[in-house]
C-alpha cells in the first residue's frame, strides 16, 4: 500500500506565490485520488501565509487539516517520498529533510539551489538553465486551464480594442505591473487594459494613477480566465505557460536578468518599458511565438496527465547510501525520465534509483522473446553455448580452489539466478553437487523435470530450504549476470559469506562501465542499461568490495569484447567476416581490457557478522 507524501513549498515573502499554489493543488488532487498527503508550512510563516493567500485558505476546505506547522508533528512519521518545491533549497535544509525519515526519496520541483544535483529525482515544470539536467522537464504537468481559446479564433482578424491582461503573480515587489500599465495607459483608445494588483491596499491608489486602466485584485483560478484576453503581459513563470496552453499570446517583462535569460531560452519574446506594445506586427509575432512554444513543450494537445496524477502513480525506490558498500550516497551522475544514476564516492560503484518499478518480470518471456530480441535465439536454443561457457568458468574455479574440499559429488555448488540450468548442468558434469535458485517458475520446473537437478523457486536467500540454508554449507556460490539485479547487493554478499565454507569460492559476472561502451559515452551506456540493473560495476572496484565482505579477490577475466562498438572505426567493422580491422580492434580491446563485461573470482578468507 502506498504511504503518505509530504509536500514542502516555498512560502516565505519574496518567493512569489506559484510554489505554494501548485503545492496546494498537488495536495488537493492527491487527496482526491485517495493518497495520504501533508503540507508543511512552518509555524512562524503560517499566519502570514494565510493572510497573503486568502483565496487558498477557506475554512470549509477539508485539506486544511493536512497542514503541518510544528516539528513535533513530523516525529515518527515515515514518508513514501518528500516533495520540495522550495525554489532554492539550502544545504542545512536539504540535510534536515534527507535525514527526516531515512530512505524517503527527495523529489525537487523547479529546484534552483546549491543542492539541486543531490536530489533523488528532479522535475522541472518550468525550463531551467541549470547545467544539472532534470529527470523530467514537463511544463505539461502544470495545473493547466480547462478553458482554451479555439485554434479558429486565433485566425480571425483582431478587433479593437485589444484586451490586455497584466499580471505579475502573487507578489510584484518590483511593481512591474504598475510600470507596464502606466506605459499602456496612453493608448487606452486602442486597447482595453486590466491590471491585477496583488496588494489589495494599493488597488484604489493605482486606479487613480492609471487612467484608462482597470485595476482589480487577485482573481481566484486566474488560469481559467486567461482565454478571455487577447494578450497576457507577465514575467517568466507558471502564468506564461498557462497562457500558452490557453492559446493566449504572451509578452514578458523581466524583473531580473535571470528571468530574462529563462524567458528567452524558452522562446518567449521579451520587452522593456521603452518598447511600443500596441504594434500590430508585434502582436502577430507573439501569436506565432506562442504556437512555437506550445509545440516545443508539448502544450498543443489536451492535457492527459498533471503533476498530481503523475505523483500519485509513482513508487520511488532510492537509496540514502550506496547499496554495495552501504556508505554515504553520491551526487547524480546521469538522469533519465524514470531513473537517476549516482556514483558512490567511497567504492566507485554506479547505482540506480527509480521513480517507478522496472517493468521487467523474470518469467518465461524474459528467456524467450526478450532473450531472442537481444541475442537472436531463445535461452534454450542458446543452452549448449551457455553450458560450454559454464565449463570454462568451472575450470577457473577449480584452479583457484583448495583441492582438499573440492571432492567429486561431495562439493556443494549454489548457482543464484540459475535460469534454465546450463551452469548447473556443467557443474554436475564436472563432478559437483549443484543446487540452483531461480525466480522464474517455468525455469525451475525445467531443471527438475528435464535435467533432473535440484532448484528452488524464488529469490535468494529466502527461497533456500532451512536444511540447506546453514552456515558453511557450500563450497562454491556463483551469480552469472545476476548481482546487478539485486537492489541490495551488500546484503547478498553478507548472505553468501555466511553460506560459504572458509576458503570457498565466490564467482560472478556482470556488465562493466569501464568497457568500450562506457568509455565511448557513459551517458549513453547508462541510458541503454536495462531498467532492472540496480548496480553497474567496474573490475577495479572488486578488490575493495570483496575485502569488505570477507573475500579475497583471486582473478578477474575481462569478457564481452565488441570491436564494432569502437568509436568511428567500429562502423567499418564486419563482425561476421572478422576482417583485419575487426581482428585489430579485438586485439586492442583485449590488451587494454575494454570488454563490456567481466568475471570476478574470490575466496572466503574470514566470516562477516551481520549486524
Confidence of residue 206 (pLDDT cuts 50, 70, 90): low
pLDDT at 274 over 70: no
Please give the class, per CATH, of domain 5-143. alpha beta
pLDDT at 221 over 80: yes
**What's the pLDDT tens digit per position in 37-86?**
999 999 988 888 888 777 777 766 777 788 899 888 888 888 999 999 99
pTM of this prediction? Answer: 0.89
pLDDT, mean over the chain: 89
- CB burial string 489-516: b at 16+ within 10 A, e below: bbebbbbbbbbbbeebbbbbbbbbbbbb
Mean pLDDT of 500-520: 96
Mean pLDDT of 298-318: 92
CATH number of the domain located at residue range(s) 151-296 in this protein: 3.40.50.2000
What are the residue ranges spanned by the domains of the chain? 5-143, 151-296
CA 124 – CA 95 distance, rounded (Å):
21
Answer whether 5-143 and 151-296 agree in fold.
yes
Decide which of 151 and 91 is more confident: 91
pLDDT at 94 over 90: yes
C-alpha angle with apex 301: 296 to 306, nearest 5 degrees? 90
Q: Which of 69-73, 257-261, 402-406 has the lowest mean pLDDT?
A: 402-406
Confidence of residue 173 (pLDDT cuts 50, 70, 90): confident
Task: Tell me which range, 177-191, 356-370, 388-402, is most confidently predicted by mean pLDDT.
Answer: 388-402
Confidence of residue 146 (pLDDT cuts 50, 70, 90): very high
Confidence of residue 156 (pLDDT cuts 50, 70, 90): low
Report long-range pairs for 400-406 (Cβ below 8 Å, ≥24 apart): 400/505, 400/554, 400/555, 400/601, 400/603, 401/475, 401/476, 401/503, 401/505, 401/603, 402/503, 405/475, 405/501, 405/503, 405/504, 406/475
pLDDT at 601 over 70: yes
CA 67 – CA 47 distance, rounded (Å):
12
pLDDT at 388 over 60: yes
pLDDT at 199 over 80: no
Strands 350-354 and 535-536 turn out to be antiparallel
Q: Which of 162, 295, 149 is nearest to 231 (CA)?
A: 162
Amino acid at each position: 500500500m502506498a504511504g503518505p507524501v509530504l509536500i514542502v513549498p516555498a512560502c516565505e515573502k519574496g518567493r512569489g506565490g506559484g510554489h505554494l499554489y501548485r503545492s496546494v493543488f498537488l495536495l488537493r488532487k492527491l487527496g482526491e485520488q485517495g493518497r495520504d498527503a501533508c503540507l508543511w508550512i512552518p509555524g512562524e510563516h503560517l499566519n502570514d501565509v494565510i493572510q497573503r493567500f486568502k483565496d487558498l485558505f477557506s475554512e470549509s476546505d477539508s485539506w486544511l487539516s493536512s497542514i503541518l506547522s510544528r516539528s513535533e508533528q513530523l516525529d515518527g512519521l515515515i514518508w513514501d517520498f518528500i516533495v520540495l518545491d522550495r525554489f532554492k533549497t539550502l544545504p542545512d535544509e536539504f540535510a534536515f529533510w534527507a535525514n527526516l525519515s531515512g530512505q524517503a526519496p527527495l523529489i525537487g520541483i523547479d529546484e534552483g539551489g546549491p543542492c539541486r544535483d543531490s536530489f533523488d529525482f528532479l522535475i522541472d515544470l518550468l525550463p531551467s538553465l541549470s547545467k544539472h539536467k532534470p529527470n523530467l522537464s514537463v511544463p505539461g504537468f502544470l495545473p493547466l486551464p480547462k478553458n482554451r481559446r479555439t485554434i479558429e479564433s486565433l485566425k480571425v482578424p483582431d478587433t479593437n480594442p485589444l484586451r490586455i491582461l497584466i499580471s505579475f503573480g502573487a507578489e510584484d515587489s518590483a511593481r512591474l505591473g504598475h510600470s507596464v500599465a502606466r506605459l499602456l495607459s496612453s493608448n487606452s483608445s486602442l486597447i482595453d487594459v486590466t491590471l491585477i494588483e496583488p496588494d489589495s491596499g494599493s488597488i484604489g491608489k493605482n486606479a487613480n494613477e492609471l487612467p484608462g486602466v482597470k485595476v482589480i485584485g487577485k482573481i481566484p483560478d486566474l488560469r481559467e480566465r486567461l482565454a478571455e484576453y487577447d494578450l497576457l503581459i507577465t514575467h517568466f513563470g507558471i502564468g506564461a505557460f498557462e497562457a500558452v496552453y490557453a492559446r493566449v499570446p504572451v509578452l514578458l517583462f523581466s524583473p531580473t536578468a535571470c528571468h530574462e535569460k529563462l524567458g528567452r531560452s524558452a522562446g518567449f519574446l521579451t520587452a522593456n518599458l521603452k518598447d511600443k506594445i500596441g504594434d500590430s506586427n508585434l502582436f502577430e509575432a507573439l501569436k506565432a511565438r506562442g504556437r512555437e512554444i506550445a509545440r516545443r513543450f508539448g502544450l498543443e494537445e489536451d492535457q492527459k496527465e498533471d503533476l498530481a496524477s503523475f505523483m500519485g502513480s509513482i513508487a520511488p525506490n532510492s537509496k540514502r547510501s550506496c547499496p554495495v558498500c552501504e556508505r554515504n550516497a553520491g551526487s547524480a551522475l546521469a538522469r533519465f525520465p524514470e531513473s537517476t544514476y549516482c556514483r558512490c564516492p567511497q567504492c566507485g560503484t554506479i547505482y540506480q534509483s527509480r521513480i517507478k518499478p522496472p517493468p521487467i518480470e523474470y518469467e518465461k518471456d524474459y528467456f524467450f522473446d526478450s532473450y531472442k530480441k537481444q541475442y537472436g535465439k531463445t535461452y534454450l536454443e542458446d543452452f549448449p553455448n551457455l553450458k560450454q561457457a559454464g565449463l570454462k568458468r568451472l575450470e577457473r574455479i577449480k584452479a583457484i580452489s583448495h583441492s582438499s574440499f573440492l571432492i567429486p559429488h561431495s562439493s556443494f555448488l549454489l548457482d543464484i539466478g540459475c535460469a534454465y540450468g546450463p551452469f548447473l548442468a556443467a557443474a554436475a558434469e564436472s563432478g559437483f553437487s549443484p543446487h540452483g535458485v531461480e525466480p522464474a517458475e517455468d525455469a525451475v520446473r525445467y531443471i527438475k523435470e528435464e535435467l533432473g537437478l535440484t532448484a528452488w523457486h524464488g529469490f535468494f536467500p529466502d527461497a533456500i530450504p532451512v536444511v540447506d540454508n546453514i552456515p558453511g554449507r557450500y563450497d562454491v556460490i556463483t551469480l552469472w549476470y545476476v548481482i546487478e539485479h539485486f537492489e541490495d547487493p551488500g546484503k547478498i554478499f553478507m548472505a553468501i559469506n555466511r553460506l560459504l565454507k572458509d576458503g570457498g569460492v565466490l564467482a560472478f559476472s556482470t556488465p562493466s562501465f569501464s568497457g568500450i561502451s562506457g568509455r565511448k559515452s557513459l551517458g549513453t551506456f547508462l541510458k541503454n542499461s536495462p531498467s532492472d540493473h540496480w548496480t553497474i560495476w567496474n573490475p577495479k572496484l572488486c578488490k575493495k568490495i570483496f575485502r569488505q565482505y570477507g573475500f579475497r579477490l583471486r582473478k578477474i577475466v575481462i569478457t564481452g569484447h565488441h570491436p564494432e562498438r569502437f568509436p568511428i572505426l567500429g562502423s567499418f567493422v564486419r563482425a561476421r567476416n572478422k576482417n583485419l580491422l575487426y581482428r585489430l580492434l579485438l586485439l586492442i580491446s583485449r590488451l587494454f581490457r575494454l570488454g563490456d563485461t567481466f568475471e570476478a573470482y574470490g575466496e572466503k578468507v574470514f566470516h562477516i557478522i551481520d549486524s
